[in-house]
Structure 1
Amino acid sequence: MAALSENVMRLKGKACVVTAAGQGIGAATARAFAREGATVWATDVDEGKLAALKGAEGIRTHKLDVLDKAAIAALAKQTGAVDVLFNCAGFVHHGAVLDATDDQWAFAFNLNVRSMFWTIQAFLPGMLEKGGGSIVNMSSAASSVKGAALRCIYGTTKAAVIGLTKSVAVDYVAKGVRCNAICPGTVQTPSLDERIASLGGGQDARKFFMQRQPTGRFGSAEEIAALAVYLASDEAAFTTGTVNVIDGGWSV
């Protein structure tokens, strides 16, 4: 394993797939992977959001609907075996259990959990053929690690992601494939801005999210991306099946 150094490209020679790379954490991670020497397939269902990444060194953009199993399989065939899969696609529903509808429940599990199940099934065989790889799944500190108000559906799906992560980790640890989950607190992203706007915007809506951050600030997409780089790299060769909480002390 390479020693830590500012001059070491930690993902040099690795092929990576990133979902939901059009904005926020996904975009920051795609850029971070590329800076570390990886060849990155940056995917998103909204091709327009990928425009900012087009032409960036080391990044190839590709439209992908992670709710389309056939499209995922086609991408896996196109990329060939990859070294890293970063599952970032997801959606946050607002509300308690009595607010939840069957349609919301089904949509959330399809996007937040089933899509990861499908991408892992598509890309894991190539990793096994190569003799190793790293899968990084986006979970959340909200409800899956710490109870969060009005996050019933979302928290339940993100708890399921942790279960999926541990299952993959234990089943393939002896075959060189690692699988870890990232559980962020509240992160400043376009998604957060949309959630604030859905609550009416303004300081009261923003305070709803800020009050749970003891640091007095939101996390940044780049801070989450830095953790994803570590988990994707060979520096994390002894790390699998872990729940990596990065929440500014919220769950302490």
Structure 2
Amino acid sequence: MVATFTGKVVLVTGGGSGIGRASALAFAREGAKVVVADVAVEAGVDTVSKIEATYGEAIFVKTDVSKAAEVKKLIKKTVDTYGAIDCAFNNAGIKGVSSSTAACTEENWDRVLNINLKGVWLCMKYQIPYMREQGGGAIVNMSAAAGLSNCLERFPAYTASKNAVIGLTKTAALEYAKAGIRINALCPGYIYTPMVESEIHQNHQNSDLKDLMANKVPMGRWGTPEEIAEIALFLCSDTASYVNGHAMVVDGGLVA
């Protein structure tokens, strides 16, 4: 079943590249007016340009999701521009620096948790009041397969943040279910984004590491940003009208 967002206003954080860009384009393709938020200005503006050239209407708002004032401004700009905020994909996140738990620096810990967890909380903090006022909405928070049983060695802050996003999502889903706001988490596995591609090339192990990781997946391949985008659309759509407080795994069978 095709999700339609005609007349809907959708906010996507981290919309400058990877899953965020693919999702912004997919929401626009299905008729949504899209607000693209990212700390990377050039990338965010480019996503908006692609939407305007192919599907329709979008704006870019430079936003650091770890800063309350910027998130508050983002949500206000969304409502002031389009009059509503029907759906939000709180996707912005980082992996952080690779290190063991004992070697993880406080700086790295704080940066990862501030963006991946505090950023999701701040987005919901300012999205929910508008959604309550308008009678409902749908929120999808980005977690990861690492937030479930497939924990990621040498990325303690990332793993902790993604586990916490699931707990936060479920708490909020319970609190606002009767207000007509559905809140779910999305848990991708190995997705071949530009960030991952750059990371692999920096390690000078591009072909071996890419294949090694793909072989860990029962389906034998990486996922694509576009595949994750389609699940974000589903969770925000009326098709998923009875899905709430759920952590949806999209990983080719990795967690299983």
TM range (shorter): over 0.9
> Quick check: 2:147–2:164 contact (8 Å CA) kept in 1?
no
Which residue identity does 1:84 align to in structure 2?
A: C
Q: Which residue, out of 100, 109, 112, partners 2:113? A: 109
How do residues 1-252 of structure 1 correspond to structure 2 at under 5 angstroms?
Answer: 4=1, 10-50=4-44, 51-54=46-49, 55-56=52-53, 57-80=56-79, 81-93=84-96, 94-252=98-256
Question: SS state of the match for residue 219, structure 1?
Answer: coil
Question: SS state of the match for residue 97, structure 1?
Answer: coil
2-structure distance, mates of 1:147, 1:114: 20
> Quick check: 1:12–1:37 contact (8 Å CA) kept in 2?
yes
> Quick check: 2:15–2:47 contact (8 Å CA) kept in 1?
no
2-structure distance, mates of 1:52, 1:82: 19
TM-score (norm 2): 0.91
Question: SS state of the match for residue 213, structure 1?
Answer: coil
1:213, CA displacement in angstroms? 1.5
1:205, CA displacement in angstroms? 2.9
Which residue identity does 2:35 align to in structure 1?
A: W
Deviations 1:189-246 (A, max 9, x none): 0111132134333323324532322211100101000000011111111000001000
Question: SS state of the match for residue 171, structure 2?
Answer: helix
1-structure distance, mates of 2:208, 2:158: 22
Question: SS state of the match for residue 105, structure 1?
Answer: helix
2-structure distance, mates of 1:244, 1:195: 26
RMSD of equivalent CA atoms: 1.5
Unaligned 5+ residue runs, structure 2? none
> Quick check: 1:142–1:151 contact (8 Å CA) kept in 2?
no
Moved more, 53-62 or 157-166: 53-62
2-structure distance, mates of 1:164, 1:21: 22
Unaligned 5+ residue runs, structure 1? none
Corresponding residue pairs, total: 246
Identity of aligned residues (%): 37
1-structure distance, mates of 2:23, 2:169: 19
Which residue identity does 1:65 align to in structure 2?
A: D
Question: SS state of the match for residue 160, structure 1?
Answer: helix
1:98, CA displacement in angstroms? 2.4
